[in-house]
Amino acid sequence: SAVISQKPSRDICQRGTSLTIQCQVDSQVTMMFWYRQQPGQSLTLIATANQGSEATYESGFVIDKFPISRPNLTFSTLTVSNMSPEDSSIYLCSVEAGMNTEAFFGQGTRLTVV
């Protein structure tokens, strides 16, 4: 299993500013994933954070808006840049333990942009 800690758990930010969300895992993992969950909606994958290389972004998400760092096998950050109210969501970090195994999720960061 894997235990994931996300910081902050919630934040209220002014539009135009940026917020960096941290994700710490208690074990080394190859891939980490960042999701967004808008109110009442399912989870949407933003990107896959790869250690030692640039993140891989899904359609509709770009590095300038959501820069990601992955300095080692237990840590990643997601930055939400130049925020607008439309960025208000829950952002979740996830890892997978291995082939055909479950994914583990952090508790999420609830972001409100005003």
Partner 1 sequence: LAKTTQPISMDSYEGQEVNITCSHNNIATNDYITWYQQFPSQGPRFIIQGYKTKVTNEVASLFIPADRKSSTLSLPRVSLSDTAVYYCLVGNTGGFKTIFGAGTRLFVKA
Binding site for partner 1 (CB under 8 A): 4, 30-31, 33, 35, 42-45, 48, 90, 92, 94, 96-108, 110
Nearest residue (CB) to partner 1, 18 versus 112: 112
Nearest residue (CB) to partner 1, 13 versus 90: 90
The answer to whether the CB of 63 falls within 8 A of the CB of 70 is no
For the bound state, the minimum distance from the C-beta of residue 113 to partner 1, rounded and expressed in Å, comes to: 18
- b/e map 27-63, b = 16+ CB within 10 Å: eebeebbbbbeeeeeeeebbbbbebeeebebeeebee
In whole angstroms, what is the distance from residue 70 CA to residue 65 CA?
16
For the bound state, the minimum distance from the C-beta of residue 63 to partner 1, rounded and expressed in Å, comes to: 17
For the bound state, the minimum distance from the C-beta of residue 60 to partner 1, rounded and expressed in Å, comes to: 14
Q: Residue 80 burial by CB count (10 A; 0-12/13-18/19+): exposed, middle or buried?
A: buried
Q: What is the DSSP letter of 88?
A: -
Nearest residue (CB) to partner 1, 18 versus 54: 54
Nearest residue (CB) to partner 1, 47 versus 113: 47
For the bound state, the minimum distance from the C-beta of residue 56 to partner 1, rounded and expressed in Å, comes to: 9
